[in-house]
Amino acid sequence: MLAASVPCLVNATAFAQTRPPSPFDIELLISRSLAPGLRADAFVQQMQPMFSLLDANGDGVISDDDRQIQLRKVEAGRRTLLISQFVSADFNDDGVVTREEMVLYQRYVGSFSARRDGDAAQASREELLERRVAMFMRADADADGRIDWDEMVAYAKRSALPTPWEVDYDTPYKTMLSFDANGDGKTTREEYTEAMRRRFAEMDSDGDDLISQAEFDGYWQRKGVPAPKVAAIQPSYEEKLAAECAPPRPAKDAKLIVFNGHQFAALSSVAIGSQDAVTMTAKVVIESGTQPLYLVIIGWQRAIWQFEGAVERVQHLVLGGITPARGPGVPAGAVGIAKDRISFADAGKCGTFWVNMNQRYPDLVRERGKLLFGRAPDALLQAAELGTLHLPSGQVTPRPEKAVWSKTIQFDESNAELGLMRRVVLRFYPGGVVDFAPESVVAGQAVALYEVLPEAAGLLQLTIQGALVRNAKGEYVVQRPMRFPAGLAGGHAVRFLVPKGVPRPTGDPGHSRVVIEDAAPAKP
């Protein structure tokens, strides 16, 4: 509104306008910007241009200096408007304006031309025309009948704009300076932003950063005035997804922590969801303290989180998994936390929120935190390698001091070949292979013991059981019916040889090469 008013002052056609503009009322603008369905961040964002508009000198604060600049701009605009009338009347372009030229200009540009509506009306117009011409001819200081440039400028400096158009600059700056929280006579953008958040909170009675229809109506009822007619703001695509995901909201006194984990230090003896996928594991030690914790644990791999320590502090646990571009989300499970305190958001539409919720994108984390949990996280943590996570401090031990070995891969330590195979396991999983009882794992998908452990651990297990023997070429020779270990892709791929008469193993060999000496059918 303010931006549009100043250019109008220098428009020559504005001279004939007599309708004053609406006052620049910040309070009214704020009230009319609030609507059902509006979120706090969106409201604060849409109110930012007002600050920039009034920050006339662009120094990031609103002060009386800005008001003075605006007033000087208006005065300059008024002078420009007056001078433009003279310049426009200089029909012969000689740099001076005569009375005859001013009469012509006012008659034809000022809309005083004759009309067929009676002699009396025409006489009235002629009288008004003479008054307007006489007003401008007062610029002729030396009374020589010619108005030169110096006389035009001098007249513009000493004369007011000859219209009732006045712009109120005191009111908007007075309102802006009322947001000066520290009383230094200046309102910073931060103070202004906080004031807008407080104004939003006056309507947002439940503090969820979203104005409902009931809150909107109730606010205006408390004010004792009819609610303005505004259209409700429709939820965005992400808002709709968040409503479908709908994890429980954390208590006000709980610390909301988001953790993002990538590579895990140990394998699990149980599978979540599929025998053909690798399930990993890591420890989470809850440190002593009194503040309740609301934990959002995001895993980039299928994993079981082992909770230890002061687990009674965990008010709620949300287990999320990254959703790949294709396929379902990455499932997760936990031990040590009661089932009624765990929510699973590891698949489908919930999974789309977890991508990029890390320290690289704090603004995105804040926005998505508000969508999902009603407020931004209190702490944002992440780790590329994960053995043990300590919460709420966020301390991470990438590798455990000692590996744990599942009972399914125990062997005589004097066996050098098996010892070498176990070192291969340690290369990828320094934490070893952790045994779990399936019934102890709370997960979003079915949990079962692996028939064959994943990756190199599975190769070791099958070798201990006699189902595989490695030949001089380094091939794993299949001795009897078996299942391929899960996860034999990339650097985990090997070469299998299936001799004549031995059925092809079940399961998924991944990127491994499988050579079959005959085509005996696989057993179910």
- Rounded to whole angstroms, the Cα distance separating 165 from 324 reads 62
Average pLDDT score, the chain: 86
**Alpha-carbon torsion angle 242, 283, 432, 484, nearest 10:** -20
Residue 298 β-bridge partners: 260, 320
- Statement: residue 4 has pLDDT above 80: no
pTM of the model: 0.68
With cut-offs at 50, 70 and 90, classify the pLDDT of residue 42. confident
| DSSP notation for 215-275 | HHHHHHHHHTSPPP--PPPPPPHHHHHHHHH-PPPPPTTSEEEEEEEEEESEEESEEES-T
Average pLDDT over residues 362-376: 88
Average pLDDT over residues 31-40: 88
Looking at the chain, the whole-number percentage of residues with pLDDT higher than 90 is: 54
pLDDT of 399 reads 87
Token representation of residue 47: 């109110």
With cut-offs at 50, 70 and 90, classify the pLDDT of residue 115. low
Establish whether the linkage from the previous residue to 392 is cis, with ω within 30° of 0: yes
With cut-offs at 50, 70 and 90, classify the pLDDT of residue 403. very high
Average pLDDT over residues 260-287: 94
pLDDT of 370 reads 87
Token representation of residue 286: 């809850």
pLDDT of 347 reads 56
Any idea which of 99-103, 122-126, 299-303, 346-350 has the lowest mean pLDDT? 346-350
Token representation of residue 390: 């300590």
Cβ neighbours of 519 (radius 10 Å): 8
pLDDT of 30 reads 85
DSSP one-letter code for 341: G
The full length of the chain comes to 524
Average pLDDT over residues 143-147: 91
- Statement: residue 159 has pLDDT above 80: no
- Statement: residue 423 has pLDDT above 90: yes
Any idea which of 168-182, 258-272, 379-393, 451-465 has the lowest mean pLDDT? 168-182
Q: Check if the beta carbon of residue 256 is closer than 8 Å to that of residue 296.
A: yes
Amino acid in position 242: A
pLDDT of 8 reads 35
Any idea which of 56-65, 92-101, 232-241, 271-280 has the lowest mean pLDDT? 232-241
Scanning the structure block, which residue is given the tokens 């299949």?
A: 478
Among 94-98, 227-231, 346-350, 464-468, the range with the most confident prediction by mean pLDDT is 464-468
Select from 98, 96, 218 the least CA-distant residue to 149.
96
pLDDT tens digits, one per residue of 205-246: 988 888 999 999 999 999 898 888 888 888 888 888 888 888
- Statement: residue 483 has pLDDT above 60: yes
With cut-offs at 50, 70 and 90, classify the pLDDT of residue 388. very high
Looking at the chain, the whole-number percentage of residues with pLDDT higher than 70 is: 88
pLDDT of 348 reads 59
